[in-house]
Structure 1
Amino acid sequence: MYQSTLPGQFLSISESQADSIALQSNAEQVSYGDLKRRVDKVGSYFKQIGIEPGDRVALVIDNSVDYVTAFYAIWKVGGIVVSLNPQAKFHEIEKLIQQCEAKCLLIDKLNHANTEQLNQLSINMITLNQCDINGVANWSTALECEADNNWYSATEDTLAQIIYTSGTTGNPKGVLLSHGNLMCNVKDIIEYLELTREDSVLNVLPFHYCYGNSVLHTHFSVGGKVILAGSMAFPQEIVNTMREYKATGFSGVPSTFSLFLARSDWPQDPPPLRYMTQAGGPMGKELTQKLLQSSQPDTKLYVMYGQTEACARISWLPPHKLDEKLGSAGISLTHVDLEIRDENAQALPNGQKGEVYVKGPSIMQGYWNNAEASEQVLLNGWLKTGDLGYLDDEGYLYLVGRNSDMIKVGAHRINPLELEEVINKLGFVQESAVIGIEDEILGQKLRAFIVGEESRENLLALKKHCNEYLPTHKIPREIQWAEQLPKTASGKIKRYLLKS
């Protein structure tokens, strides 16, 4: 039986499973009971410095026990969590702090110059690094505060979190989620993943965006274990950690699994996982098949689709349907309604392509302080996703791209994902991205960015491959080699940066 909110569920689990391990890292392991005691202390400190229900508290902290402690402590006092990317430039962080009107900032590291800038915002500052800067509190002070057990009684309508969109367009917006939004999505995900207290997920996803956020709360809500792993810069170490801590689950984006297959012993000795989940953009059919063939026979792969505006997850593909429905984003969650509509917002029959619209209790409240943007995507309770797709005769969703990504070459509208899937079949190509650039005659022409070994031989092979598998108007006119593609924290390609 679930509580109506995630903080309520956390209190229930921390009482019934006080000795169960909640968080595991190389440095420490923390039980639910210990974590709750830390949360109580930090929450009491927040009260002392004047944090009240509805106040925004910004977290600029890498995945850690301290991050999770601060997160639930904000909820203890009824605050709204604003998780920001610790890898962002300081001026970006400062802009978002101003935009959400945060009353308090918790940050991994501060220096004197940054502090002077933030002092102009009249904001409480707490830093995790030991420092002696006037006006900045140390995290240790919060952890040593005398605890109380008084938790704010949040309801399903209480505002819980602001998650800034990944910003594939370069203009991040603050997605405002209620406790009811989060709890509904969490329960639906637990249902199809069949999560229990016996599950332990190894996590490399940043908690500050919706996929990692979802992994944390789904496993906490069943009393499972979250294993905090290191950087994907060392994929073999991640695979070793899976084995060492006996992880039952792993969640990743397509490039994550590509790295495992190319730079670790996963194909020779696949870890004994119960399940894997994949989201954060479409995974090519060939990579999906290669991952399945290289994994344990009883490891289930869940292909998923979602948006921050939908709290995380919109649809999922049942693992037993992977072969039959390869390339599909699956069926909608239990509490999500899904339709395909035309340009006039009229529902289309199965088989016809249009824009994906979704509705349900997990859909966001709107964008923080941005009524105009909210009105553009929220129509009579439906979320206008901007994603293009169609439903087959059995109601399975197939995505074909985004409205904003479509490239117009002459009279042709071209979906870059279709071209990238063709290019990525070449063995020397790790990944690719196709964009449209200005052309005086056609309006736009195609430029392909290739991550892989650059050589004249490979360039000729690429051109031959494109000529063989693509019609003339879909063949990239320019090829540019790249060491890596610019991506959001969720693994989506920042195409606007490629254009610049």
Structure 2
Amino acid sequence: METTMSNQTPPTPAAPPAPTPIAPLAVREGFAADPTLGAGNFLDRAIEANPNRAVPYAFSHRLDHRGEVVLVGHSLLDLAALRDRYAAWHHAMGVRPGEPVGVVVAEGLEPLLHFFALTALGAVPALINDAMRPDVMVRYLDHVGVVGVVADDTTRLASAYRQDPRRRPRFLALTAEVQAFDAAAAPLPEQYPYRHAAEDVVALIHSSGTTGTPKSTILAHRQFWEGKQPRMTRFPAEPSDRLMSLMPHTHAGGLSYFLTATLLGLPTVVMGGWRRAVVEPVMEAFQPTMVASFPRTFVELATGELPVAGAARVHSWFNTGDSAHYGHVRRLVELGERPAGLIKPWLLPQEKADQPALPGSQFVDGLGSSEMGMALFGQVTSPETERADRCVGKPSEVVEHAAVLDEDGNELPDGTPGLLAVRAPSITPGYWNNERLTASFHLSGYWLTGDVAYRDAAGRFFHLDRTVDVIDTLDGPVYSLPLEEVLLADCAELVRDCSVVGVPHPAGGQRPIAVVQLQEGAGALDEEGLLKAANAELGRAGLAELAALRVARADGDFPLGPTGKVLKRELRTRHATLLTGSAS
């Protein structure tokens, strides 16, 4: 491995094996009990408390001249030095506490460095996935009211603002300009790093945009730390553990895992790309024991030939955002091995060493969102786990109460689908510059997650759909996720990925249709044959049948949003006349 003090100077060969950067248990227990720790100061607290602050723990990667993966390591002190340089640049540009700044840079460590720099100034980073469509991005930046924007490429933004100069923020700057800045040329503020109050806003995170223009979710200093305290002693952090983070780090999920890794001192490779072609070679070089991602990469890793070499040491897969599908999960848990310390954490160190590892891994499926502040429901699947379609488990301990409500806010009995609602200190303070939207998600003292679910008699919750994706048929609501579950698990030899949406039917109401991506070599059946096979499985499961099925032959036929979610809104629009035959 290689280390470097910045991402602008050539990396130098690493010294002989360094001590583990994992923070001692007493330090981690101190973090869990610290009432002033939060999302705005976790880097400084880690530097203060971890005696291994100079040991590289955060890794980026590059390819050498032979096309082989080179890992580049950064210690806590390295990140602080980069943060201070970036903060000096932002301060020189006039950025002051409370002001939002747009950050539109490629995924990886770079958005995290700007997050650290801006929060150290008391400013508010508006982290934006650079895959967002330019016109949508400008509308979003206008809504946020950013005072400036840092971007890898400002061409499209400058063109958009040139058409209406009144909307232009104070500065549009290239990432390269910040990276090349001489920090000695500008002083930092007298009070630095900024001291956050519990309610101070530390970041704005946009939604996926699957239902329209992205919402701007507020993360607050203490709120975003709430619920993560138990991770300080329970999250796997043995000296042998390594985390691969495939989350978008402009998203709350990526920020949450990096916060955890930083406080634990957990060696973590921060990925920019999420496609299998990029991920698998880095897995083989880094040999992670844990992989954290949205479902998008798990779909790719679970499809086709399994990544046996890269996942040889994986004991845990962590999923958040949308819950994953069993058809993909069951293949991933065949990989890797589970050490005794993971299965029996109460064992003494020597006892753990003496116990043989079990074959296979565990998949920790968390249902969460930026608004929830973290995954608030969790289901663990291992090779021995019985199938339980759409089960997202029980609420985490930070949840004060979780319920399924009707539209009037009354709690529904077990087994009845309704609006998933939670009360927890990790819930967002609301949406930036939109009190009306914030109020619409409050009902009877709960926060509505935007999901339809039901609870069983054992207290487990089952995720059925997003509220905007429910298919309104003449016979009642049909939920898309259980249908997708069957297509992916029971038609796995044919279907690689799929999305079920509702479209108008000539008789009235909507009917479900599926858009599917096929497995390699599954092209022998035509769409009618695939539809017949799919409906046979749905009938066996007692679910509604599909009215039609379309095969996505090209990437554009299966549109993804900036965070890799399928854009069901676009599929509904594209196939709106599929059953009626009327003109668009």
Give the TM-score, by structure 1 length.
0.90
Q: Aligned runs of 1:204-243 on 2, under 5 Å?
A: 204-235=246-277, 237-243=278-284
Give me the whole-angstrom Cα distance separating, in 2, the residues matched to 1:466 and 1:298. Answer: 30
The one of 428, 448, 451 aligned to 2:494: 428
Give me the whole-angstrom Cα distance separating, in 1, the residues matched to 2:238 and 2:216. Answer: 32
Partner of residue 246, structure 1: 287
Provide the secondary structure at the position in 2 that maps to 1:184. coil
Partner of residue 312, structure 1: 374
Q: Residue type of the partner of 2:393?
A: G
Give me the whole-angstrom Cα distance separating, in 2, the residues matched to 1:65 and 1:253. Answer: 18
Give me the whole-angstrom Cα distance separating, in 1, the residues matched to 2:538 and 2:126. Answer: 45
Give me the whole-angstrom Cα distance separating, in 1, the residues matched to 2:195 and 2:367. Answer: 32
Q: Residue type of the partner of 1:7?
A: G
Partner of residue 530, structure 2: 462
Give me the whole-angstrom Cα distance separating, in 2, the residues matched to 1:66 and 1:19. Answer: 20
Q: Deviations over 1:331-372 (max 9, x none)?
A: 222211311222221123333332111111111111111121
The one of 96, 116, 141 aligned to 2:181: 141
Which stretch of the first structure deviates more once superposed, 98-107 or 349-358?
349-358
Give me the whole-angstrom Cα distance separating, in 2, the residues matched to 1:47 and 1:286. Answer: 50
Give me the whole-angstrom Cα distance separating, in 2, the residues matched to 1:97 and 1:463. Answer: 43
Give me the whole-angstrom Cα distance separating, in 2, the residues matched to 1:287 and 1:65. Answer: 28
Partner of residue 516, structure 2: 450
The answer as to whether partners of 2:288 and 2:314 remain within 8 angstroms in 1 is yes
Partner of residue 18, structure 1: 53
Identity among equivalent pairs (%): 19
Seen in structure 2, the aligned counterparts of structure 1 residues 143 and 94 have a Cα distance that, compared at 3 Å, is farther
What is the CA distance between 1:322 and its match in structure 2? 7.4
The one of 109, 116, 126 aligned to 1:72: 116
What is the CA distance between 1:197 and its match in structure 2? 7.4
The answer as to whether partners of 1:239 and 1:264 remain within 8 angstroms in 2 is no
Partner of residue 499, structure 1: 572
Partner of residue 483, structure 2: 419
Partner of residue 174, structure 1: 216
Seen in structure 2, the aligned counterparts of structure 1 residues 439 and 143 have a Cα distance that, compared at 3 Å, is farther
What is the CA distance between 1:475 and its match in structure 2? 2.4
Q: Aligned runs of 1:278-297 on 2, under 5 Å?
A: 278-296=319-337, 297=359
Seen in structure 2, the aligned counterparts of structure 1 residues 79 and 322 have a Cα distance that, compared at 3 Å, is farther
Partner of residue 132, structure 1: none
Query: Does residue 1:477 correspond to 2:550, yes or no?
Result: no
Seen in structure 2, the aligned counterparts of structure 1 residues 230 and 372 have a Cα distance that, compared at 3 Å, is closer
Give me the whole-angstrom Cα distance separating, in 2, the residues matched to 1:142 and 1:179. Answer: 29
Provide the secondary structure at the position in 1 that maps to 2:138. helix
The answer as to whether partners of 1:77 and 1:151 remain within 8 angstroms in 2 is yes
Provide the secondary structure at the position in 1 that maps to 2:40. helix
Give me the whole-angstrom Cα distance separating, in 1, the residues matched to 2:262 and 2:497. Answer: 34
RMSD of aligned alpha carbons = 2.7
Provide the secondary structure at the position in 2 that maps to 1:250. strand
Give me the whole-angstrom Cα distance separating, in 1, the residues matched to 2:284 and 2:544. Answer: 44
Give me the whole-angstrom Cα distance separating, in 1, the residues matched to 2:159 and 2:532. Answer: 56
Q: Deviations over 1:66-108 (max 9, x none)?
A: 3222110101011111101111222222211111111121111
Query: Does residue 1:330 correspond to 2:393, yes or no?
Result: yes
Give the TM-score, by structure 2 length.
0.78
The one of 337, 348, 353 aligned to 2:412: 348
The answer as to whether partners of 1:188 and 1:334 remain within 8 angstroms in 2 is no
The answer as to whether partners of 2:531 and 2:548 remain within 8 angstroms in 1 is no
The one of 143, 148, 151 aligned to 1:107: 151
Aligned length: 492
What is the CA distance between 1:310 and its match in structure 2? 0.7
Query: Does residue 1:127 correspond to 2:166, yes or no?
Result: no
What is the CA distance between 1:12 and its match in structure 2? 2.1
Seen in structure 2, the aligned counterparts of structure 1 residues 268 and 274 have a Cα distance that, compared at 3 Å, is closer
Seen in structure 2, the aligned counterparts of structure 1 residues 122 and 111 have a Cα distance that, compared at 3 Å, is same
Q: Deviations over 1:21-74 (max 9, x none)?
A: 242122432111011112122223322322111110111011233322211010
The answer as to whether partners of 1:42 and 1:145 remain within 8 angstroms in 2 is no
Provide the secondary structure at the position in 2 that maps to 1:50. coil
Give me the whole-angstrom Cα distance separating, in 2, the residues matched to 1:474 and 1:195. Answer: 45
The one of 61, 76, 79 aligned to 1:35: 79
Give me the whole-angstrom Cα distance separating, in 2, the residues matched to 1:198 and 1:37. Answer: 27
What is the CA distance between 1:285 and its match in structure 2? 2.3
Give me the whole-angstrom Cα distance separating, in 1, the residues matched to 2:276 and 2:495. Answer: 20
Give me the whole-angstrom Cα distance separating, in 1, the residues matched to 2:204 and 2:441. Answer: 17
Provide the secondary structure at the position in 1 that maps to 2:223. helix
Q: Residue type of the partner of 2:215?
A: K
Q: Deviations over 1:239-266 (max 9, x none)?
A: 3322322322111233422322335542
Give me the whole-angstrom Cα distance separating, in 2, the residues matched to 1:443 and 1:112. Answer: 41
Seen in structure 2, the aligned counterparts of structure 1 residues 198 and 398 have a Cα distance that, compared at 3 Å, is same
The answer as to whether partners of 1:306 and 1:312 remain within 8 angstroms in 2 is yes
Q: Residue type of the partner of 2:108?
A: S
Partner of residue 456, structure 2: 392
Seen in structure 2, the aligned counterparts of structure 1 residues 325 and 421 have a Cα distance that, compared at 3 Å, is closer
Give me the whole-angstrom Cα distance separating, in 2, the residues matched to 1:80 and 1:458. Answer: 52
The answer as to whether partners of 1:401 and 1:417 remain within 8 angstroms in 2 is yes
Seen in structure 2, the aligned counterparts of structure 1 residues 436 and 202 have a Cα distance that, compared at 3 Å, is same
Q: Residue type of the partner of 1:228?
A: V
Partner of residue 134, structure 1: none
Q: Deviations over 1:189-231 (max 9, x none)?
A: 5555344676432122211122222222221122223313353
Structure 1: unaligned runs, 5 residues or longer: 130-136
Seen in structure 2, the aligned counterparts of structure 1 residues 269 and 233 have a Cα distance that, compared at 3 Å, is closer
Partner of residue 300, structure 1: 362
Query: Does residue 1:155 correspond to 2:197, yes or no?
Result: yes
Q: Residue type of the partner of 2:448?
A: K
Give me the whole-angstrom Cα distance separating, in 1, the residues matched to 2:535 and 2:46. Answer: 58
Give me the whole-angstrom Cα distance separating, in 2, the residues matched to 1:374 and 1:451. Answer: 36
Give me the whole-angstrom Cα distance separating, in 2, the residues matched to 1:406 and 1:192. Answer: 37
